Amino acid sequence: MNFLLSSPTIEDLIRLLRAWRFWVLGAFIGALIGAAAYYLAPPPYRAKATVNVDFNLEQAWPKETDRQQFYFLERETRKMEELAWSDDIMSQLSSEFAIPVEELRGGKLQLSQPSEAGWHFYADDADARAAEQLVSAWAEAFTLKVQSEVQAGNIEEFLRLEVTQAVNLPKERSISLSEYVLAGSVGFLTLAVFAVLFVKPKQQ
């Protein structure tokens, strides 16, 4: 027990540095473990749809300062973010795809880069086609909802939205094989270091 709690000595560290063959082999074994985990229990597919958002600042605020425009963009962006995750849209997707709202908001759907220009919508699913259909429906529902709010006067009238990617969407695994391989190598080597420094008995 005292050995487990004792700090590594200089001799321990030198022994670690000299065991380069062990580290190479350990990294290789860890990479194989990571690759095996990837193929045995692959991560879900991730599909991405894009909606182009144009605030038309030159029309909305033609004579205002940059600071006023910044607050305007922040306010309108926050409104649209809330709409993207609103009960109306989430309930619509939940009914259409038979997925609980809690799961949709709990990580199955993701929103990236909410600002002017491209808004990227992501959906994860074990089936690539299902992920594509889900994220496409989300982007379309978001666009229609925002447009209706513009007509109702709840969002700036000069705002323009366009779904630029809704069909034949890019689909890939949410975590790549290389990330699994790297995690396997690093994880195996980390465990090996602790085993050598804190578990292996010291020579008397």
> Do residue 107 and residue 122 come from a single domain?
yes
> Do residue 13 and residue 50 come from a single domain?
no
In what helix (H) or strand (E) does residue 84 lie, and over which residues does it extend?
Answer: helix 66-84
Within 13 Å and on the Cβ side, how many CA atoms surround 175?
A: 14
> Do residue 184 and residue 95 come from a single domain?
no
Q: What is the pLDDT of residue 204?
A: 45
**Host domain of residue 36:** 2-41+177-199
All residue ranges of the chain with pLDDT < 70 are: 1-20, 57-69, 114-116, 195-204
Calpha distance 165→111 (Å, rounded): 14
Domain count, the chain: 2
The model's pTM: 0.74
Can you give the CATH number for the domain in which 152 is found? 3.30.70.1130
> Do residue 34 and residue 89 come from a single domain?
no
Q: What is the pLDDT of residues 28-57, one digit of tens each?
A: 888 999 899 889 988 999 999 999 988 776
Question: If we measure between CA atoms, which residue out of 52, 63, 65, 23 comes closest to residue 191?
Answer: 23
